[in-house]
Structure 1
Amino acid sequence: MKISTKIFLCYLLINAVCFYYPFNWVLDSMRTRYLEGVEDPLVDQANTLAALVEYELEQGTFDPQLWGEIFNRAYRRAVDARIYKLLKQKVDETLYITDSKGVVIFHSENPEIIGADYSNWRDVTRTLRGEYGARTTRLEGGPEDVSVLYVAAPIILEGKIAGVLTIGKPTTNITWFVEQAKYQIIVMSLLSLLAAGILSYFLSRWITVPVNRLTRYARLVKDGQRTDFPKLGKGEVGEMGDALKEMKDALDGKQYVEQYIQNLTHEIKSPLSAIRGAAELLAESMGEQHREKFLKNIKNESLRIQDVIDRMLALSTLESRSELTVMGPVDVKALVQTVVESFEPVFSLKNIGSEVVVQEELVITGDSFLLHQALANLIQNSVDFSLAGGKVSVCARQKDDTVRISVCDQGTGIASFAENKIFEKFFSLQRPDTGQKSTGLGLNFVRQVALLHGGNVVLENRAGGGVEAVLTFPVSLT
C-alpha cells in the first residue's frame, strides 16, 4: 500500500472517530436540550398563572367555571401559526389546579377529573413540600416517543402553600423539531466527513509529493539518465534527500574512479602489449624494412593510447557537469552545414554521398561546441560503417514538442547482440572495411551531451538497411 493511501486512510479514520463521538453526543442530548428550552417558559407561565389564581382567591373572585370557559374557547380557536417549517393549528396546553391536599379543583381539558387525588404525582408532591415540582408522563394513546411535560408552581395564601397550579405541554412538536434537527445534523455531518475525506486526499498527495519526486529521481539515476536533483523543501524529507544526494555523490565518485581505472587499464593493455612486443623485436637484428614496420606499429599504438586518454578526459569532464555552463541560441541549419562540410574530404575519400535537409529558422539553446562534437561523432560513426557508394543523410526538423536531428546511413547496421550495448563505454564493433574498432567512447559522449541538454539519443536499424541516429531536444529549449 502506498504511503499516500496510508496517510489518507489514517486521516480519514481520525476524522471519522473525532466526528462520531461529538456527533453521537449531540444526537443523544438533543431531546434533553429541547425539553430544557421548553421547560423554562413553562415555569414562567405557571408562576404567572399561579399569581393570578392567588389574586382571585384573595379577592374571592376565583371561578372554576369561568376558567373552564376561557380554556374551552382557547381550544376551539383556529390557530394558523407557521413556526419555521412546523404548522401549529391548535392550543395543546393543559392546566390543572389542586388544593393543599393534592385534590384536583380544576382541570382545563377534563372536568370529570375534578376531585381526583393528585397528591402522589411528583409535580404536586414536591411543590406542596416547597420544592420545584415537574414531571414527564407518557401521553396516553400516543406514540412511544411522545410524552407530556408538566411544570408546577405553588399557590401561596397568607404565606402558606394553599395549592398547586400545573401546566402540561405535550412533546409532540418537540419530537418533530428533534427529528428535523437530527436529519439536518446527519446531512451536515456526512457532508463535513466528505469534505474532510477530500481534504485528507489532497493533503496526503501534498505530503507525498517530495517522496514521489525523490523516487522518480532515484529511478532516473538508476537508468543512467542525467537529471536535476528535485526540490524537496526544508522538512524531514528535504533532509533525507540531501543525505541521499551526498551518499550518491560519494558513491558515484568512488565508483567512477574504479570504473575509470578499470576501463583505461583494459583499453591501453593491448596497445602496450603491442609496443612492448615491437620493442623486444627491435632489440634483435633485422632488416631496415622490418625495423620501420615495428617503429610504425609503436607510433600507431602510442597514438591509439593518446586518443583513448584524450577521449576519456573529455568524457569525464562532461560527466562531471550537472548543468551547462555555456548556453546560447544555436542555429541548427548552420550547425549541420558546418559539421557536414568538415566531413566532405572523408566523404570524397570513401566515395560516400551526403544529403542535408534542415527546416528553416530552427534554433535550439545549448552549448554549440558540445553539440558540434556530438553531431560529428554521429556522422563519423555513419561514415565508419558505410561502404563505398553509400550515402549519409542529415535531417533536422521540429516534430510536436521536440527538435529532431537525424543521421542516416546505408551501412551494415547494428548486430542484434550489440543493440543494448552501443552506448556503453569502450564497446565498439569492427568496421566493415578495415576490421578495426574505435575507442568505444564516441556514442557515450553523444549520449552525455544529449542528456546535458535535456534531450536524448537513439540508434536503430533502418528497414531498408543501415542505421538511423536521432538526437532530440525539448522544444522548450528553443
Structure 2
Amino acid sequence: MLSVVVAWFAISQFDQLGRELQQRQEADLADNLAEVMAPALRSGADSDVAHEMARHIVSINPSLSLYVLDEGGRVIADYAEPACALGSRVALSSLEALLGEDPMLPVLADSPCSGQPGVFSVARIEYGPDGARGYLYADLNNASHTSMTAMLRTSSITRTLVAAGLLALALSGLLGLLWFALLTRRFSHLTSVVQRFAAGEYQARIAEPRSDEIGQLGRAFNDMAGTIEAQLVALRETDRQRRELVANLSHDFRTPLTSLRGYVEQLQRRESLSDEERRVALTAILDNAERLTRLARQLSTLARLDAYDQPLRREPFALAELVHDIVGKFQPQAERLGVSLRVDVDPALPWVEADLGLVDRALSNLIDNALIAAAPQGRVWLAGEASGQGVRIAVSDDGDGIAAADLPLVTQRFYRTASSRARGEGSGLGLSIVRDICERHGTTLEIDSQEGTGTTVALTLPRAVSVGTNV
C-alpha cells in the first residue's frame, strides 16, 4: 500500500513537472500570436478575418485551441470548429497570475470547453474598431497531453523511471508477502503449541521467544503453562498422598482394632480366666485403645494444620510451666516403661508467644517418641534455654538413634524407621506434625542423631513481646 501511494505521488509530481515545462516553453506563445493576429482583430474578435487567421494558425499547430476573452474573462470568440466555449468564463485570477512578474508555474485554469484544469498561455490584446481591451487565450491542454505522450514514448529517462517505479512496486509487494508469511508462520507455531498444551501435552513450550509483541505473548504463555503444570504436579502429589493416607490409616486402625477384638472375644469365651490372664488382656485392651486415641488425636491435629485458612491462636505463656505440666502427664508412662524422665528447664525462662495448643501437641509428640525410642532402663530429658530472640527447647533420649539415611525422611507423613516397623509401634505422624507446627510458627525443627548414642530434637519459639518481668 505504501508503495502504491509513493508511486501515485511520483507520477502526479511527474505530470506536474511536465505541465510546468510545457507552460514555461510556451509562455510567450500568446504574445507572438497576438502580434500575428493584431490586424485581423481590428476588424472584430469574432470577424471572418479573425476566424480565417485563427484557422491558419491552428492548421500549423492543431494542438492549440484559441479564444478571445473580454476584460471580465468571458469568451467572446471561439476559433474551434465547432465552437464550444462561447459565453463561458476563465478565472481572471489565473490570467493575472500568469501575466504577473515571476509567476509560480504551473498556473492552471479551467479549459473553456472541457472545464478541466490545465496550462495555458495568455496575452493582453485590443480588438474591434474602437480598440476594446481583452485577452488572447491559448489552451495548451492538448499540446501538453501530446508532449507527455511523446515523452513517454521516446524518453529513455522516463522509461527508466517508470520501469524503476514498477520494479520497486513489485519488490515491495514481494517483501510484504514474505513478511506476512513470516508473521503468520510464528502465529501458526504459537497456535500449534497452545493446541498441543490443550490436548494434554503440558510440557509444550514456545522455544526461545523473541523480544517483540509476539515473543512477549509466547513468554507469557510459557509462564502460564509452567504455573499450570506445577499446579497439576502438586494436585497429583496431593492425590497420591491422599491415597497413601487412606491406606496407612486403614492399616493403623485395623491393627489395634483386630487386637482389641481378639482380647474381647477371649474374655467372652473364657469365663474362668486367672487374674494374671485377665490383667494381661485388659492391659492389652487399654494399650490398643490408647494407641487408637493417640492416632485419632494426631489426625485431628494434622487436619487443623492443613487448614491454613485458620490463623494461629497466638498468646503469651510460660514455656517452662508448660514443659513441667506435659512431663507430669508422661511420668506414669515413663515409669511403666522403666525410663527416667526428667526436666532441666529454668522456671525463669522468658515467656514465648505461640499457639499454646499446638506447642503442647508438638512437645507431647516429641516426649512420646523419645520414651518409645529410649533404651531399657534408659533416660529421656528436656532442656531449655534463651536463644537470641527466642527460647529453645530440646528433647533427648539415649536410644539407638536414627540412621543417617533415614534422617531426611523421618519428618514425612507415615514414614517409619526400620526399628519402628520391627517393633510395630508408631504411626509415622508424630514428627511430621511437629514439623508442620514449626513451619506454621516460622521456625525449623532441628534433629541431631547418631546411631547407638541417641537422638535430640529441638525447636525454637519466639519470645513474647511484653509479659511482665518474665520476658
TM-score normalized with structure 2 length: 0.48
Whichever of the two has the greater Rg, that structure is 2
TM-score normalized with structure 1 length: 0.47
